[in-house]
Amino acid sequence: MIKPLKKAVLPVAGLGTRFLPATKAMPKEMLPVVDKPLIQYAIDEARAAGIEEFCLITARGKDNLIDYFDVAYELEATLRGRNKVSAIEALESSSVEAGSLVAVRQQNPLGLGHAIWCARNFIGTDPFAILLPDDIVKGGRSCIAQLADVYRQTGGNVLAVNEVPPEWTDRYGVLLPGEDDGKRVEVKGLVEKPAPADAPSNLAIIGRYILTADVLEPLSHLKQGVGGEVQLTDAMAELIGKVPFHGLRYEGTRFDCGSKLGFLEAQIAMAVDREDLGQDVRAFLKKYI
């Protein structure tokens, strides 16, 4: 029986070094794209897939990520007193049902695999989604909802994948593809950050996954991989052949907001599509280019 997907893990414990000094005293995941922090995009996408249980993997200095999902009594009372209806409405998406969001500390940033292992008690034996908030996927249906569609058909593990320029394989987890219908691709192997010459393909994993709890066993060995980090890709690779494993070429455009260029692109792409901003942003861009 294929278990329903109800849970999501959102790792937010990284150091965010590429955004220093901005991230010295503020989590990268709270950086706004137009007017919503990155973490809110990930939560909205998960909700659109019917997920309502969230686990944030946080770190020291990142508590305002948890505060963000709390009720802001004083602010709301002040806004109500001033009849600021649209401002009150803007706060709505950042509230979660009591008890539906938990946070776990990853005491040391030992890698994404370690971050997921820190969520083992939340995961239990259930399937779960992983959303890395520094990736935003714009357009079409929620990316994780697209993966959930495949999961409901195949069970097992489903990864969002994307063709990347061959010279970029050393930035991603890369697939050894099996049967491929142009959209859905069987995963026969996975390699983390291979040099272009050694890469089994240019099909890369982006920050969206649906995994079964089977991955917790290989993760529990906390084996260090590329860069001395506990790599999620290595743990997933150990499961291939034992449980179904598929990649999905999702619909939508992904922005890597963990990089400066991707973050700027996301700002522009989101802003030009907004009814309240689009026209002005286009005019402004013309002026500067």
Q: Which residues bind ligand UTP (CB under 6 A)?
A: 11-18, 28, 57, 106, 109-112, 114-115, 132-134, 258
Of 146 and 233, nearer to ligand UTP (C-beta) is: 233
Of 79 and 137, nearer to ligand UTP (C-beta) is: 137
Residue type, 4: P
Q: How far is CA 4 from the centre of its chain?
A: 20
**Shortest distance, position 248 Cβ to ligand UTP, whole Å:** 20
Q: What are the C-alpha distances in Å from 61 to residues 12, 65, 246, 275?
A: 11, 9, 36, 36
**Shortest distance, position 3 Cβ to ligand UTP, whole Å:** 25
Of 232 and 237, nearer to ligand UTP (C-beta) is: 232
Of 224 and 253, nearer to ligand UTP (C-beta) is: 224
**Shortest distance, position 209 Cβ to ligand UTP, whole Å:** 12
* CA nearest to 132, candidates 26, 44, 271, 9: 9
**Shortest distance, position 37 Cβ to ligand UTP, whole Å:** 13
- Is the bond leading into 21 cis (omega within 30 degrees of zero)? yes
Q: Is 228 left (phi over 0), alpha (psi -120 to 50) or beta?
A: left
Dihedral of alpha carbons 28, 253, 213, 219, sign:
negative
**Shortest distance, position 17 Cβ to ligand UTP, whole Å:** 3
Of 77 and 261, nearer to ligand UTP (C-beta) is: 261
